Amino acid sequence: MYALIHSLTGRRMFIEQLSVFVASLAIAEIFYKFHSFTLECLAFLATWYVLELTVNRLRALLAPKK
Protein backbone atom coordinates (compact mmCIF):
# COMPACT_ATOMS: atom_id res chain seq x y z
CA MET A 1 0.00 0.00 0.00
CA TYR A 2 2.88 2.36 0.84
CA ALA A 3 4.47 1.70 -2.56
CA LEU A 4 1.15 2.32 -4.31
CA ILE A 5 0.62 5.64 -2.59
CA HIS A 6 4.14 6.88 -3.24
CA SER A 7 4.50 5.57 -6.79
CA LEU A 8 1.51 7.42 -8.20
CA THR A 9 0.95 11.14 -8.38
CA GLY A 10 -2.07 12.52 -6.59
CA ARG A 11 -3.95 13.12 -9.83
CA ARG A 12 -3.19 9.66 -11.24
CA MET A 13 -4.17 8.00 -7.99
CA PHE A 14 -7.44 9.93 -7.91
CA ILE A 15 -8.30 9.13 -11.52
CA GLU A 16 -7.13 5.51 -11.70
CA GLN A 17 -7.57 4.12 -8.20
CA LEU A 18 -10.46 5.97 -6.59
CA SER A 19 -13.21 4.57 -8.81
CA VAL A 20 -11.94 0.99 -8.46
CA PHE A 21 -11.49 1.44 -4.71
CA VAL A 22 -15.03 2.76 -4.27
CA ALA A 23 -16.50 -0.04 -6.41
CA SER A 24 -14.57 -2.66 -4.42
CA LEU A 25 -15.67 -1.12 -1.14
CA ALA A 26 -19.30 -1.11 -2.26
CA ILE A 27 -19.13 -4.75 -3.36
CA ALA A 28 -17.52 -5.73 -0.07
CA GLU A 29 -20.08 -3.79 1.98
CA ILE A 30 -23.07 -5.24 0.13
CA PHE A 31 -22.03 -8.84 -0.44
CA TYR A 32 -19.37 -9.88 2.08
CA LYS A 33 -20.87 -10.92 5.41
CA PHE A 34 -18.35 -13.42 6.78
CA HIS A 35 -18.71 -12.27 10.42
CA SER A 36 -14.94 -11.98 10.51
CA PHE A 37 -13.07 -8.73 9.96
CA THR A 38 -10.03 -10.53 8.62
CA LEU A 39 -11.95 -12.53 6.02
CA GLU A 40 -13.93 -9.49 4.90
CA CYS A 41 -10.75 -7.41 4.66
CA LEU A 42 -8.99 -10.08 2.60
CA ALA A 43 -12.03 -10.44 0.34
CA PHE A 44 -12.14 -6.65 -0.12
CA LEU A 45 -8.43 -6.54 -1.04
CA ALA A 46 -8.86 -9.46 -3.46
CA THR A 47 -11.83 -7.70 -5.05
CA TRP A 48 -9.85 -4.48 -5.39
CA TYR A 49 -6.98 -6.41 -7.02
CA VAL A 50 -9.23 -8.23 -9.50
CA LEU A 51 -11.14 -5.08 -10.46
CA GLU A 52 -7.90 -3.14 -10.93
CA LEU A 53 -6.46 -5.97 -13.05
CA THR A 54 -9.61 -6.00 -15.17
CA VAL A 55 -9.58 -2.22 -15.66
CA ASN A 56 -5.90 -2.24 -16.62
CA ARG A 57 -6.38 -5.05 -19.15
CA LEU A 58 -9.40 -3.32 -20.67
CA ARG A 59 -7.47 -0.07 -20.85
CA ALA A 60 -4.62 -1.86 -22.65
CA LEU A 61 -7.02 -3.50 -25.12
CA LEU A 62 -8.79 -0.24 -25.90
CA ALA A 63 -5.64 1.88 -26.14
CA PRO A 64 -4.71 2.99 -29.63
CA LYS A 65 -1.99 0.86 -31.19
CA LYS A 66 1.25 2.65 -32.08
- 24 domain-assigned: yes
The number of distinct structural domains making up the chain is 1
Return the percent helix, strand and coil in the chain, to nearest 5: 80, 0, 20
Residues 3-28: pLDDT tens digits? 766 777 777 777 778 899 999 999 99
- Give me the domain span that covers residue 60: 18-66
Q: What is the pLDDT of residue 26?
A: 97
Helix (H, G, I), strand (E, B) or coil at 8: coil
Q: How far apart are alpha carbons 42 and 55 in whole angstroms?
A: 20
As a whole number of Å, the CA-based R_g of the chain is 14
Q: How far apart are alpha carbons 35 and 13 in whole angstroms?
A: 31
Distant-in-sequence, close-in-space partners of 27: CB < 8 Å, separation ≥ 6: 47
pTM value is: 0.80
Average pLDDT, the chain: 88
- 7 domain-assigned: no
